[in-house]
Amino acid sequence: MKKEQFNIAGMSCSACSSRIEKVIGKQQGVEQISVNLLKNNMHVTYDEKVISAEAIIAKVEKLGFGASLHLQQQNQSKAKPVDTAAQEMQAMKRRLIWSVIFTLPLFYISMGKMMNWPLPEIFLGMENSLINGLTQLLLTIPVILIGSKYFEHGFKNLWNKAPNMDSLIAIGSSAAFVYGVYAVYKIAYGFGHGDMNLVHRFSHDLYFESAAMILTLITLGKFMEARAKNRTSEAITKLMNLAPKIALVERHGMQGEIPIEEVVTGDILIVKSGATVPVDGVIIEGNGALDEAAITGESIPVEKYVEDTVTGGTINKSGYFKMRATAVGEDTTLSKIIALVDEATSSKAPIAKMADRISGIFVPVVITIAVFAAATWICLGYNVEFALVIGISVLVISCPCALGLATPTAIMVGTGRGAANGILIKSASALEAAHNIDTVILDKTGTVTEGKPVVTDILTNKITESQLLSIAAAIEKLSEHPLAEPIINAAEERHLELPAASGYRLLPGKGLEALVEGKLCYAGNAKLMQAANIDVSEFADVTAKLAHDGKTPLYFAQGEQLLGIIAVADTVKPSSAEAIAKLRKLGIKVIMLTGDNKITAEAIHRQVGMDEVIAELLPEDKERTVRRLQEQGHKVAMVGDGINDAPALARANVGIAIGAGTDIAIESADIVLMRSDLLDVPKAISLSKAVMSNIKQNLFWAFFYNAIGIPIAAGMLYPHFEILLSPMIAAAAMSFSSVSVVTNALRLRFWTYK
């Protein structure tokens, strides 16, 4: 079996992606297919002995879409996907701006007389009807040209028997525009032949504003989609940029910098303090304290020595070492994380809007009704003009103005309300998925906890806390070790004066020693105390308890006398326990995943009380856990803040990033909590329920008008009551449906979390 990625062009809604999946999935030799509307791509697993990539491309093109192998673009710059997405967003933005520029005056002129708005004299009165009509025509033509792609895709899909929302847009807008042009000719004919009744009749039958308004509103929705595509591309590109561009290599006894692409397995690389590890490898000389937060989420750097493995993308906080490269290019852990994010975002099925899901039925039904109604009235002996008015009325009243507004208006108002509450919701898919969440997975570091170590306990032996802290800070100020920072910060918070320290010497694997006011002092772990013959047995029980609580005890001694112990740990956020309790009250299962050790994880578990804790995980393990839960039928939300959480965030039904986290986590997620407060997780779920309820209401009203209006527009009431819904009234009804949808969406401005 072979797995290929194809680039797809011309998809406009979920009806398109669903049709491609359905048709290609039925081809002999195709085992699995996933079409991603947002990224305009398709992943296909197929038997190349039965079907070729060229045959798959030909089948997609036969459906009316463009297709090409993704491999054909791999030699291009990796930044191009971002540039392409950004260009698409900017192009859509320009189309939207220009559409609005022409649509607003068109709408004002067309509706001004009916609404008694002030208008120039040249547009008023029957004698100026032709001027009015030609002005509207000239304002509509640019909007039609700007939205030409809707007509191109819509009619092409209609021709290929795969109608979608573009088809309805194209038919409805075309019908309104063509009838408007017809009305202008009738007005001109009326003036030429002195038939003022004809002029009066058709001066009210100009529907150019309907044609332009449809295109402008749909362009608004397309702009939002383009912006989402741009953000998706940024997430993967930022991951790519994590890897260093150069490496310091030692070859033939000479040192020199080379591009990262030229590093090969077996190369000897040098990593200095503050440098990023270029590729995966093993230390052969020296040591260092590595910040592995990008890979494991561990907040406290890990000491690495000879024969220990190191991972590309991690940072050497202190120390100096040589390493032998064991994995380069696509085989590195960081590259695998990038691949996981890309695969997860590509394989995640886009959640289609309700209007799109039923468009495959709605569009042909509307067309059929319009044609059938017109034909019926002709058969009943009415003239072609009367039948044409009936057909146009059906198409105009069923135009997707309200359908186009139903989702984006609720999303815009809802997301605006969310932003005011510290919740950034990035897509309609996230909204739709969040209200069904039954399992929330939490990363530990930076999510449940603060994400940076602080001093938690100070235990002294025959000196005061201030004396111990000042000596400890004086020693640690000479050190580059990451655990020095919380001790120095604690001393600064107490405004302590630090004694003079000198003679710093690093003791690998144990700690350090220095002279403080001429006296030899030690700072480090229990191994250092044992090596210096310092008795710490009196504190054995308390240090064991500190370790049990997930804290790191640091010993400080002067000569052979133990001065005391300072414990450092990543503390739990004040709101974490309350947030978890609220989630469990909602019936949501809460699981904590962490790359940290089991002792620390269990200590956090006891403090906040989630349902389950899984520790010592790598990024792929987190992503695998999310996938396992999804396979069991759970709707999973992943909450995290680190690069290591990106694959799991992308794989989850809803990825929720803590705002204080990395850009990669934020870009990979669907929802961002800007205040870094876990209490915003239940708040976000509640908001999603409110917005989704509003969207469903909007769609109901949009279709309700069609259900009532289409039969009337088709003339069902005319034989008995002589009630005929003219295209003008049909357009007004359509406009009213749009107003009701917008008004309903505006109610979300008053949403509050209860």
Query: What are the two backbone dihedrals, phi and then psi, of residue 255, each rounded to the nearest 5 degrees?
Result: -105, 145
DSSP bridge partners of 460? 564
Q: Which amino acid is at 715?
A: G
Maximum Cα–Cα distance across the chain: 117
How many CB atoms within 10 Å of residue 467? Answer: 15
Q: Look-up: residue for tokens 């906890």?
A: 449
Residues 6+ apart with CB under 8 A from 707: none
- The two beta strands, 449-460 and 561-572, are antiparallel
Q: Within 13 Å, how many C-alpha atoms sit on residue 470's CB side?
A: 14
Q: Which amino acid is at 410?
A: A
The whole-angstrom separation of Cα 59 and Cα 558 is 79
State whether the Cα torsion 593-598-599-605 is positive or negative: positive
3-state secondary structure of 754: coil
Query: What are the two backbone dihedrals, phi and then psi, of residue 522, each rounded to the nearest 5 degrees?
Result: -120, 150
3-state secondary structure of 176: helix
CB 139 within 8 A of CB 359: no
DSSP-H helix ranges across 549-676? 576-585, 598-608, 619-631, 646-651, 663-668
Q: In terms of C-beta density within 10 A (0-12 exposed, 13-18 middle, 19 or more buried), how is residue 567 classed?
A: buried
67, 95, 237, 342 from 232: Cα distances, Å: 20, 22, 9, 9
Q: Quick one: tokens of 594? A: 């962490």
Residues 6+ apart with CB under 8 A from 230: 82, 85, 86, 88, 89
- The two beta strands, 671-673 and 654-658, are parallel
CB 170 within 8 A of CB 362: no
Residues 6+ apart with CB under 8 A from 247: 257, 258, 259, 260, 263, 267, 269, 278, 279
Residues 6+ apart with CB under 8 A from 589: 438, 439, 440, 611, 612, 634
- Interhelix angle 680-713/359-379, nearest 10 degrees: 10
Q: Quick one: tokens of 548? A: 């049990």
How many CB atoms within 10 Å of residue 69? Answer: 15
652-668 burial string, b = 16+ CB within 10 Å, else e? bbbbbbbbbbbebbbbb
Residues 6+ apart with CB under 8 A from 670: 425, 426, 427, 429, 430, 433, 434, 654, 655, 656
What torsion, rounded to 10 degrees, do the Cα atoms 538, 539, 545, 546 define?
Answer: 180
- The two beta strands, 439-443 and 589-593, are parallel
Q: Which amino acid is at 200?
A: H
Indicate if 443 belongs to the active site. Answer: yes
Nearest to 423 by CA among 696, 679, 694: 679
Catalytic residue, chosen from 280, 443, 549, 596, is: 443
Nearest to 737 by CA among 404, 363, 364, 391: 404
Residue positions annotated with a catalytic role:
443
